[in-house]
A = this chain, B = another copy of it.
Amino acid sequence: MADPNSTKNIGLRGITVADTKISKVEGDKGNLYYRGYHIHDLARNSTFEETAYLLIYGRLPGAEELRHFTSQMILNRDLPDMMVHNLQERPATAGTMDVVQSAASLLADYDADPRDESKEANYDRAINLIAKLPTMVAYWERIRSQQPIVRPRTDLSHAANFLYMLHGQAPDPGVARELDVALVLHADHTFNASTFAAREVASTRAHMYAAVSAACGALSGELHGGANTRVMEMLHQIGSIENVDEYVKTTLESGNKVFGMGHAVYKTYDPRMFVLQPMSERLGKITGDTSWYDMSVAVMESTVKHFKRLKNADIYPNVDFFSASAYFYMGIPPHLFTPVFAFSRVAGWCAHVIEERFAEAQPKPQLYRPRAEYIGNYCGEEGCVYVPMNKRPGEPETPSS
């Protein structure tokens, strides 16, 4: 058996695997920077389009650069007819993250030359993927609920256009800006599990579609992108603010988690929460129903209180906690929360794939190929010896024919 004190690096926690210039998390101080810019500064001043440019190209664009980038995104919004047709043929029960994972891979079919490994080709693929992921999500949601798809508009922002394609009517500009900011907040977070999966696949020199598709697979897991959906399910389960304290108390005392509370990296408030909490509050007022926001605040306060009592430790809401009610107020159904996360984070995935392939850092990234400790069976010094079927325990000793 393995020695529990061995040097195994379970989950790779604390293991530094590469240099990056894309983003930085200060877990102790509760700071997040994209390319050196604090997330609060970007949330206040930037847009998802500009933030995607910043992540991918490494600097803020000039006016003409941003105009060109945005117009390329707009031109790439719609899906090839065959991909729409493929969506129409999928069973209505298909999971949206499964749809996005396979659709990201299918996009490779329409690349002029998926083997073109130039930096320019990779920038074009990034624009294509960032532009199309929201369309995949909106089209699939309309198709599976037997509504006609709504083609993208060219006069709306990335965020507004998604809400338009989803709901069939142009959103309130204020609500669209709230989604825009939420997309800025979710666009990168250094080497999280999905980004690491994208880099891992890219490290073999597979193309960007293969890497982004793999990242969608990683994000779909409930320990990663699935968490914001679980927060909303929890709020629905609690039902009303009077039930909050009893629910939280019972959940924590029975050793279970309150979804959206606590983070592997932040040891204080997640900086994104300071943007998302007032966003949820504003959206509650706009929609005239503050109950989800109020219940979220009550769950947060109750969790902090009971966690302190039970563990004598502090716990803080993470990015998923207030994004759940915020998205819900925007009319986004909970099963689309993880796909919305995906079409924001895809900006980071593409930036990381480009960094993995074109990093100037020394030593350069290499194919990820870790070790594992073999703790299995050996049978004896020379290993197990293959026993023919008729000599195995319980098998009749038939003469071989």
Q: Which residues of A are in contact with B by a Cβ distance under 8 Å?
A: 2, 4, 6-24, 31, 33, 35-38, 41-42, 44-46, 58, 60, 62-63, 66, 82, 85-86, 89-91, 93-95, 97-98, 101-103, 105-106, 108-110, 114, 190-194, 196-197, 200-207, 209-211, 213-214, 216-226, 264-265, 361-379, 382-389, 392-395
Contact = CB atoms under 8 A, between A and B. Distances in A.
Contacts of A114: 95, 98
Contact of A370 (B60, B191, B219): B191
Nearest to A396: B63
B206 A221 contact: yes
20 contacts: A10-B365, A11-B203, A12-B17, A12-B369, A12-B370, A13-B370, A24-B376, A35-B376, A36-B379, A63-B395, A66-B389, A86-B86, A98-B114, A98-B210, A102-B105, A191-B369, A191-B370, A205-B222, A206-B219, A214-B217
Q: Which of A7, A20, A226 has the most CB of B within 10 A?
A: A20
Contacts of A193: 200, 203-204, 367-369
A18 B372 contact: yes
Given A105-B217, A206-B220, A370-B191, A375 B395 contact: no
A368 B109 contact: no
A22 B9 CA distance: 18
Nearest to A362: B4
A388 B216 CA distance: 33
A139 B201 CA distance: 26
Identify the 10 closest CB pairs spanning chains A and B, nearest first: A204-B221, A21-B376, A11-B366, A210-B217, A214-B214, A102-B105, A206-B221, A12-B370, A24-B374, A36-B384
A266 to B, nearest CB: 13
Contacts of A66: 389
